[in-house]
Structure 1
Amino acid sequence: MSMIKTIKSLPMAVAAAAVLAALPMPEGTPIFGEQTAFAQRAESNKKQSTRKVQALTADFHKKLQKAQEAIDAKNYAEGMEILDDALARKANDYERAVAWQLKAQVFYEQDDVRGTISAYEKILQFADSIPEALEIGIIYNLGQLYYSEEDFDKALEYIQRWQNRVDPTLISVSNLQFIANLHYVRNEFEECLKYIYQAIEIGNSLETVEVKESWYSIALSSHWELGQYEKVRDVLEILLINWPKPRYWTQLAGIYQELGDEQTSYSLTEAAYKQGFLDDNETQLVNVAQIQLARSAPIKCAWILEKAFKENRVEKSPKNEKILGQCYMMAYEYEKALEPLSKAAAGDEDGDLWFQIGQVQMQLGHYKDALDSFASVIKAFEKDKSEKAKEKTLSATMQRGQAFTELKRFKEAREAFKTAKRMATDRRDKRMVTQWESYLKAEEAREEMLNG
Structure 2
Amino acid sequence: MTWALTLVLMFLMLLALGSQDLLLDYNVVSSAHAEQNSESNAASRKTRKTPALRQNVYKKISEAQEFSDAKDFNGALEVLNKLEKRPKLNAYEKAMVYYLKGFAFYSQDKYPDSIEAFRKIVGNESVPLEFENRVLGTLAQLYFVVENYKEVINVLVRLHGQQDKPTHQSLFALAQAYYLEKEYDRAIETVGRVMAMDRKAGVITSENTLLLLQGCHFEKKNIKQVAGILETLVELYPKKQYWIQLSAVYSQLGLDEKQMSAMELAYRQNYLSKSKEFEMLAQLYLYHALPYKAARLLEKALKNKQMESNKKNLKLLGDAWVLAKEVDKAIVALKKAAKLSKRGDIYERLVELYSEKENWTEVVRNSEEAVKKKDLNNIGRLYLLKGVAHFNLEEFESARTALKKAKKKPKTARFAKSWMRYVDREEQRAMLEESIAEQ
- The TM tier, using the shorter chain, reads 0.7 to 0.9
Deviations 1:418-443 (A, max 9, x none): 3333x245xx7443222222232234
Structure 2 equivalent of residue 399 of structure 1: 385
Q: How does 1:62-77 map to 2 (within 5 A)?
A: 62-77=59-74
**Aligned residue among 210, 213, 217 for 2:207:** 213
On the 8 A contact 2:381/2:412 being kept in 1, the answer is: no
Q: 1:264 to 1:444 in 2, by over 3 A?
A: same
TM-score, with structure 2 as normaliser = 0.84
Counterpart CA distance in 2 for 1:106 and 1:285 is 55
Whether the 8 Å contact between 2:26 and 2:65 is mirrored in structure 1 is no
Query: 2:30 maps to which residue?
Result: 31
- In structure 2, how many angstroms separate the alpha carbons of the residues matched to 1:120 and 1:339? 74
Please give the residue correspondences for 1:135-284 in structure 2 after superposition, counting only pairs within 5 Å: 135-163=132-160, 165-167=161-163, 169-207=164-202, 211-278=205-272, 280-284=273-277
How does 1:63-102 map onto structure 2 within 5 Å?
63-92=60-89, 93-102=91-100
Q: Residue 25 of structure 1 corresponds to which residue in structure 2?
A: none
Structure 1 residue 377: deviation in Å?
Answer: 4.8
Q: 1:315 to 1:46 in 2, by over 3 A?
A: farther
**Distance 1:401-1:252 versus aligned 2 partners, 3 A rule:** same
Aligned equivalents of 2:384, 2:30: Cα separation in 1: 100
Structure 2 gaps, min length 5? 1-7
**Where does residue 414 of structure 2 map in the other structure?**
431
1:335 & 1:380 partners in 2: Cα distance? 23
Post-superposition Cα deviations, 1:359-406, rounded to whole Å, max 9, x if no partner, equal 112222333433344345556666x9xxxx6xx222222222223333
TM-fit CA distance, 1:309: 0.8
Contact 1:16 1:101 in 2 (8 A): no
Equivalent in 406, 423, 430 of residue 420 of structure 1: 406
Alignment of 1:318-333 (within 5 A): 318-333=311-326
- CA gap 1:11/1:217 in 2 versus in 1, 3 angstroms: farther
Tell me, yes or no, if the aligned pair for 2:150 and 2:177 is still in contact at 8 Å: no
Matches of 1:102 and 1:310 in 2, distance apart?
Answer: 65
* Cα drift, residue 190 of structure 1: 1.8
Q: Report the secondary structure of 2:225's partner residue.
A: helix
CA gap of 1:17–1:119, structure 2 versus 1, over 3 A, is farther
In 2: Cα distance, 1:121 partner to 1:294 partner: 61
1:289 alignment partner AA: A
Q: Distance in 2 between matches of 1:235 and 1:333?
A: 41
Partner amino acid, structure 2, of 1:199:
V
2:121 match: secondary structure: helix
Distance 1:74 1:368 in 2: 87
Q: Distance in 1 between matches of 2:37 and 2:238?
A: 38
Q: Distance in 1 between matches of 2:412 and 2:257?
A: 45
Q: Residue in 2 aligned with 1:440?
A: 423
Q: TM-score, normalised by structure 1?
A: 0.81
Asked if the contact 2:343–2:374 (Cα under 8 Å) also holds between the matched residues in 1, the reply is no
Instruction: Give the structure, 1 or 2, with the largest relative contact order (CA under 8 Å, sep 6 or more).
Output: 1
Query: 1 CA distance for matches of 2:191 and 2:33?
Result: 30
Aligned partner of 2:304 in structure 1 is 311
Shift in Å, 1:151: 1.9
Distance 1:287 1:222, change over 3 A: same
Q: Is the 8 A contact 2:152 2:174 kept in 1?
A: no
Q: How well do the aligned residues superpose, as a CA RMSD in angstroms?
A: 3.4
CA distances 1:243-289 after superposition (whole Å, capped 9, x unpaired)? 233433343344334333333443343333233233x2433323333
2:191–2:213: 8 Å Cα contact kept in structure 1? Answer: yes
For residue 112 of structure 1, report the CA deviation from its aligned partner. Answer: 3.7
Distance verdict in 2 for CA 1:33–1:441, change over 3 Å: farther
1:358–1:370 contact (8 Å) kept in structure 2: yes
Aligned 8 A contact 1:94 1:129 in 2: yes
Alignment check: 8 A CA contact 1:322 1:340 kept: yes
Identity %: 26
| Partner Cα separation in structure 2 for residue 360 and residue 196 of structure 1 | 60
- Distance, in Å, in 1 between the alignment partners of 2:12 and 2:108 is 12
Between 1:186-195 and 1:409-418, the stretch displaced more is 409-418
Q: Which amino acid aligns with 1:313?
A: Q
Unaligned runs of 5+ in 1: 22-29
Question: Does structure 1 conserve the Cα–Cα contact (< 8 Å) formed by 2:22 and 2:137?
Answer: no
Report the Cα offset of residue 311 of structure 1: 0.8
Task: Tell me how far apart the structure 2 counterparts of residues 189 and 104 of structure 1 sit (CA, whole Å).
Answer: 32
Alignment partners' CA distance in 1, 2:405 and 2:416 = 10
Whether contact under 8 Å (2:60, 2:79) holds in the other structure is yes
